[in-house]
Amino acid sequence: RMKIDEELKELQNRIDSWTPPKEITLFSELPLSSRTLKGLKSSHFLNPTPIQSLAVPQALRGQDILGSAKTGSGKTLAFLIPMLERLYLDKWGPMDGLGAVVISPTRELAVQTFTQLRDIGKYHNFSAGLVIGGKPLKEEQERLGRMNILIATPGRLLQHLDSTVGFEAAGVKVLVLDEADRLLDLGFLPALRAIIGHFSPVQTTSSSRPSRQTLLFSATQTKDLAALAKLSLHEPLYINCNKPG
């Protein structure tokens, strides 16, 4: 316990005093917990991609992010890493309930994200589950109450938020909207609007840090994205790894 407290304090100091170096070649140069670094290493992730180097340290500071980088550039770890670190820094435990939610446009993407989370998060003690339909609602309902992290598709998540007794999104610390351009292409804007309505209203404390952090990632920046960003993000930092033109 003492050892963890010391690590958390040191981590928070490194995050607070973070100034981006010219170049980052190793994950171990980022201000990350030993558990996450171990998970990355055992999954053979050693060198962060550009979107990961840029977005992870900023997200660790609690800021909302709108990140865009083309398909295949590693956006999944760009949000999974800060999500795990947020819960770890907050000493999130099994009894603290739902702490993070990732919304994916399709079941396939949700499963991929879940698999990557299980790989890099295996040295943490968080419970994680998929909410993607395809199974009886009741079966999912029974597992939901025990989950710290959910990877979900919009329709099914909304179904639970509307109908599962005791399923609470108000305490969620990190909300991720992944592949936001595809979410919009698939017509999920109304569902997303309803989902975001279930999450705690973004409160600005005296330290001006909102109680919930939202990370939005997209391969492209379409016009509709601005509407979704306005709906969900609070003073976001824009990180664009796509070459102009």
Residues found near Mg ion in the complex (CB under 5 A): 75
65 contacts ligand ADP (rule: CB under 6 A): no
CB nearer to Mg ion: give 211 or 220: 220
23 contacts ligand ADP (rule: CB under 6 A): no
Rounded Cα gap, residues 127 and 93, in angstroms: 9
73 contacts ligand ADP (rule: CB under 6 A): yes
How many residues of this chain interact with ligand ADP, rule: CB under 6 A?
A: 13
From the list ligand ADP, Mg ion, none, pick the one residue 33 interacts with, judged by a Cβ distance below 5 to 8 Å according to partner type: none
Residue 226 corresponds to which tokens in the numbers above? 């601005």
In the complex, the smallest distance separating the C-beta of residue 179 from ligand ADP, rounded to whole angstroms, is 7
45 contacts ligand ADP (rule: CB under 6 A): yes
User: Which stretch in 44-52, 125-133, 158-166, 237-245 sits in contact with ligand ADP by CB under 6 A?
Assistant: 44-52
Classify the C-alpha dihedral 177-52-32-21 as positive or negative.
negative
Give the chain's end-to-end CA distance (angstroms, integer): 51
Contact with ligand ADP (CB under 6 A) among 33, 68, 76, 232: 76
CB nearer to ligand ADP: give 153 or 159: 153
CB nearer to ligand ADP: give 45 or 199: 45
For residue 158, give Cα distances in angstroms to 62, 74, 132, 209, 245: 25, 27, 11, 27, 37
Contact with ligand ADP (CB under 6 A) among 25, 34, 47, 125: 47
Contact with ligand ADP (CB under 6 A) among 35, 75, 86, 124: 75
From the list ligand ADP, Mg ion, none, pick the one residue 77 interacts with, judged by a Cβ distance below 5 to 8 Å according to partner type: ligand ADP
In which region does residue 91 sit, left (phi positive, over 0), alpha (psi from -120 to 50) or beta (all else)? left
